[in-house]
Amino acid sequence: MKKMITMAAGAVLAGFASPSGLLACAACFGKSDSNMARSLNAGIFSLMAVIVTVLVGAASFFVFLSRKAAAAAQAEETEKSSVEKKAL
């Protein structure tokens, strides 16, 4: 426990010793034309592309399942009606 407190205190002191390392990123700091801001935006858009791809895949799977269920219900209904017609 004492070692953890010592390490935390050391991290805080290191942060106070070099305040330039604690500055915000380019997007928050206001330099929106820097390379860091462009790479941050590229990273965000690439992650969004992955998330959108997964969500579209999941949605299309459920649409596929609902269409299959509707087709199976319709086939069952036509089969039931044809059996009833033969019975008459």
pLDDT at 38: 84
pLDDT at 50: 97
Number of domains in the chain: 1
pLDDT at 49: 97
Q: Which residues of 30-61 are buried (b: 16+ CB within 10 A; e: fewer)?
A: eeeeeeebeebeeeeeeeeeeeeeeeeeeeee
pLDDT at 62: 97
- Model pTM score: 0.54
Residue span of the structural domain in which 36 resides = 2-87
What residues in the chain have per-residue pLDDT under 50? none
Between CA 20 and CA 19, with CA 25 as vertex, the angle to 5 degrees is 15
pLDDT (tens digit, 9 = 90+) per residue, 53-78?
999 999 999 999 999 999 999 998 88
Provide the CB-side half-sphere exposure for 5 (13 A, CA). Answer: 2
Q: Three-class SS of residue 23?
A: coil
